[in-house]
Amino acid sequence: MSLRHRVVDLYKNLYHMGKEYPGGSKWFHDRLKLAFSKNKEVRDEAQIEQLIARGEFVIKEIQALYSLRKYRAMKQRYYDKDDEVMQATKKFEDSVQKL
Amino acid sequence: MFCRQVGRVAFRTASAVAQQRSFSSAIPQMSKLMVPSLNYIQTRGSKIEVFGPFDPPKQLTFKQVEERVLKAVRSWDRFPADKESLLKLDADLSKDFGFDSLDQVEIVMALEDEFGFEIPLQDSDKFKTIRDAFKYICEREDVYE
C-alpha cells in the first residue's frame, strides 16, 4: 500500500470512529480535518510514517474511550451516575490538544 | 389421535390449556407468512413474526440514483450551507465548492454509506465532478434506464 493510500485509510478510519464521539461528531471532524491539513506539506517519508503511527495511536485511544463509555453505560443501569466518562473524555481531549 | 389429544387436554392443568391456546393463536400467524410485506419494520430476533417472503430489491433508475447522490452530499455534516444552490450533478468538487482531497474522501464515504458498497481509492481519486461519482455508481449498480 502506498503512503498516500495509508494516509487516506487512516483518515477514513478516524472519520468513521468520530461519528459516535460523545462531544458531537462535528467537533471531532473539524479537528480531524485541521490536524490532517496542518501536516499536508510534509513530504519526508519517515516523518509521514511517524504521523501515521500517531494517528493509529489516537485510534487506540478512541477505542479505549468508547469501550469505557460502554462499560459505564452498562454500569449506570445498576448504580448511580458517576462522572468518570466525562473525566476520560476530558483527558482524551487534553491529550489531543497536546499532540 | 384427535380423541387422545382431547383426553390429554382434559387431564392437564390450567397452564397446559393456556399453552394450547397460544398454539391455536399461532395459526393466523402462519397465514401471515404468505402475505408479502409492504412496510416491514425491522424488529429484534425474538419478536420477528414474518420471516418472508420479502420484496426483491428494486432496480434503481437514473433519477433515483441522482436524488440519492445529491441527498448524500447535502447531508454530509460539513457541507457549506451557502453553496447549496450550486449543488447539481455537473458541479465541480474542487472548483465550484473548493473542496480539497480530504473533503472529497468524506463525500465518497457519505456515498459509500448511502449505497452500501465500498469505492476503492483508485476509483474515487478520479472523481472530478459529482457526475463522475454518479456514473461510477450507475455502472456498479447496473442502472440502465
Instruction: Write the pLDDT tens digit of every residue in B81-110.
Output: 787 788 888 888 888 888 888 889 999 999
Question: Residue type for B117, please?
Answer: F
Cβ pair B109:A15 closer than 8 A:
yes
pLDDT digit string, tens, across residues B65-84: 999 999 998 888 888 878 77
pLDDT digit string, tens, across residues B127-143: 888 899 999 999 998 88
Question: What is the rounded CA–CA span in Å between residue A18 and residue A16?
Answer: 5
Q: How sure is the predictor about B21, in pLDDT bands with cuts at 50, 70 and 90?
A: very low
Q: What are the backbone dihedrals phi and psi of residue B92, each rounded to the nearest 5 degrees, phi first?
A: -85, 130
In this predicted structure, what is the pLDDT of residue B16?
Answer: 43
Residue carrying C-alpha cell 447549496 = B84
In this predicted structure, what is the pLDDT of residue B52?
Answer: 77
Cβ pair B105:A36 closer than 8 A:
no
Question: Which residues on neighbouring strands pair with residue A19, listed in sequence order?
Answer: none
In this predicted structure, what is the pLDDT of residue B10?
Answer: 43
User: Please, are residues B141 and B114 in contact by the beta-carbon 8 Å criterion?
Assistant: no
In this predicted structure, what is the pLDDT of residue B2?
Answer: 47
Question: What is the rounded CA–CA span in Å between residue A80 and residue B74?
Answer: 41
Q: What is the least distance, in Å, from the CA of B95 to any CA of chain A?
A: 18
Is B142 one of the catalytic residues? no
Residues 6+ apart with CB under 8 A from B29: B49
Chain B interface mutation, best of A8, A19, A25, A31, highest count of B Cβ atoms under 10 Å: A8
Judged by average pLDDT, the poorest of B21-30, B43-52, B111-120 is B21-30
In this predicted structure, what is the pLDDT of residue A86?
Answer: 77
* Of B28 and A5, the one with more pLDDT: A5
Catalytic residue among B77, B92, B96, B100: B100
Report residues of chain A scoring pLDDT below 50. none
Half-sphere exposure of A65 (CA within 13 A, CB side): 23
In this predicted structure, what is the pLDDT of residue A51?
Answer: 93
Q: Dihedral, CA atoms, A28, A30, A36, A41, nearest 10 degrees? A: -160
Chain A interface mutation, best of B75, B76, B77, highest count of A Cβ atoms under 10 Å: B77
- What mean pLDDT value characterizes chain B? 75
pLDDT digit string, tens, across residues B3-20: 444 444 444 444 444 444
User: Please, are residues A32 and A8 in contact by the beta-carbon 8 Å criterion?
Assistant: no
User: Please, are residues B111 and B69 in contact by the beta-carbon 8 Å criterion?
Assistant: yes
pTM of the complete model: 0.68
The A-side interface with B (CB below 8 A) comprises 5, 8-9, 11-12, 15-16, 25-26, 29-30, 33, 36-37
Cβ pair A37:B102 closer than 8 A:
yes
Q: 10 Å Cβ neighbour count for B70?
A: 16
Cell numbers for B4: 387422545
The sign one gets for the Cα dihedral B21, B26, B27, B32 is positive
